[in-house]
A = this chain, B = another copy of it.
Amino acid sequence: MELTVAQLAERIGAEVRGDGSVVVERCAGLEEAGPRDVSFLANPRYARLLTQTRAGAVIASAQDVAGAAGRTFLVAKDPYYAFRQAMVQLHGFRRHPEAGVSPQAFVHPTAQVGPGCCIQPMVYIAEGARVGRRCVIYPHCYIGPGAVLGEDCVLFPNVTVYDGCVLGDRVTLHAGCVIGQDGFGYATHGGEHHKIPQVGNAVVEDDVEMGAGCTVNRATVGSTRIGKGTKFSDLVAIGHGAVVGQHNLLVAQVGIAGSVKTGDYVVIGGQAGLAGHLKIGDLVQIAAKAGVVNDLPAKGQYGGQPAVPLTQLKRSVLAQARLPEMIQELRELRQQVARLEAELKAKPAG
């Protein structure tokens, strides 16, 4: 879509600094952008790129703009959010196929599909399932018996929602996600692992989005729960009975074991793992690859295996880098002390 910088500024709540008549039609990174692109500077670390970029206009904060002349800016308080708004204005979101229930889908006679839904070919909707208004369900999805979807959900291909699981409104699940498979519950007795019936479900609250191939176990009893507004990247695994709070961000390949509870606004880096039954406070940030084995109070930053406060981890990493040197120092010191001891013996007694 084509817009002048002035038009775009108005739509995204930014202020023009420079030539508002410049026409832009796309968004791009500072390094890739050309004259008809709008770019952004969200991290002052990349400020040097401002002098090199070919972008027609750049979204930035007032202070980052201060030093740069002869360029058209869109000044915003939160440049990254303003860039997001520009993406929405210039590019918009994916258009889904039109509403309608494909005759090549299987919809059980007892299932309910709300008005405005797009149920594509080869979708399977089981007995007693309920799909709210305007949901889009791509081919090869499976909605199990009694499962419930709210309004405006989007399920990309090959998603499985097990029996009795619940999705809120505006839930987006990318291809291959699995919601509500049986939890990993066995009682070992007489040399065998006896399966414990997993009779709970999984609940995914409003505005959750999950990347491809995420798996959320159903609870043994009660519900596994993914809180409102939380976002997962790809291949995230959530154990049975876990309760992930609201507005969490879980990066790819994170694993959360059974019965963990995370607070709100928790951020967990890629490939991190949380052991079972832990309680993680609000706003905690966990670094990529961390292995969390203790409860964590609110607001801290943690990393390492086992996870410790990030400041402690950094100290520890630095100390470990010094280790080989320390071994050498310790050896020299022992020799020095042995020498001193010998010399001391040779001195006359008091």
- Flag whether A66 is at the interface (Cβ < 8 A): no
- Flag whether A92 is at the interface (Cβ < 8 A): yes
How far does the Cβ of A332 sit from chain B's closest Cβ, in whole Å? 9
Q: Which of B92, B142, B317 meets A138, CB within 8 Å?
A: B142
- Flag whether A48 is at the interface (Cβ < 8 A): no
Tally of this chain's copies: 3
A91: chain B residues within 8 A (beta carbon): 197, 199, 221
- Flag whether A316 is at the interface (Cβ < 8 A): yes
- Contact of B197 with A93 in the complex, beta carbons under 8 Å: yes
| A174-B182 in contact given A124-B120, A270-B255 (Cβ < 8 Å) | yes
How far does the Cβ of A38 sit from chain B's closest Cβ, in whole Å? 11
Interface size class of A (residues with CB under 8 A): 35 or more
B interface footprint on A246-264 (CB within 8 Å = 1, 0 otherwise)? 0101011101010000000
A320: chain B residues within 8 A (beta carbon): 316, 319-320, 323
- Flag whether A121 is at the interface (Cβ < 8 A): yes
- Contact of A142 with B140 in the complex, beta carbons under 8 Å: yes
Q: Which of B122, B158, B271, B321 meets A106, CB within 8 Å?
A: B122
- Contact of B233 with A252 in the complex, beta carbons under 8 Å: no
Bound: A40/B106 CA distance, A: 42
- Contact of B78 with A189 in the complex, beta carbons under 8 Å: yes
Instruction: Name which of A138, A157, A253, A350 has the most chain B CB atoms within 10 A of its CB.
Output: A157
How far does the Cβ of A290 sit from chain B's closest Cβ, in whole Å? 9
A199: chain B residues within 8 A (beta carbon): 87, 91
How far does the Cβ of A88 sit from chain B's closest Cβ, in whole Å? 6
How far does the Cβ of A77 sit from chain B's closest Cβ, in whole Å? 10
- Contact of A157 with B184 in the complex, beta carbons under 8 Å: no
Closest 10 CB pairs of A and B: A84-B187, A160-B175, A178-B212, A142-B157, A319-B323, A212-B215, A81-B189, A184-B233, A174-B181, A124-B139
Given contacts A83-B196, A344-B347, 19 further A-B contacts (CB under 8 A): A28-B221, A32-B221, A81-B187, A94-B163, A94-B197, A97-B126, A122-B122, A142-B157, A156-B160, A156-B181, A178-B212, A184-B211, A184-B233, A184-B251, A195-B209, A215-B234, A271-B273, A316-B321, A319-B324
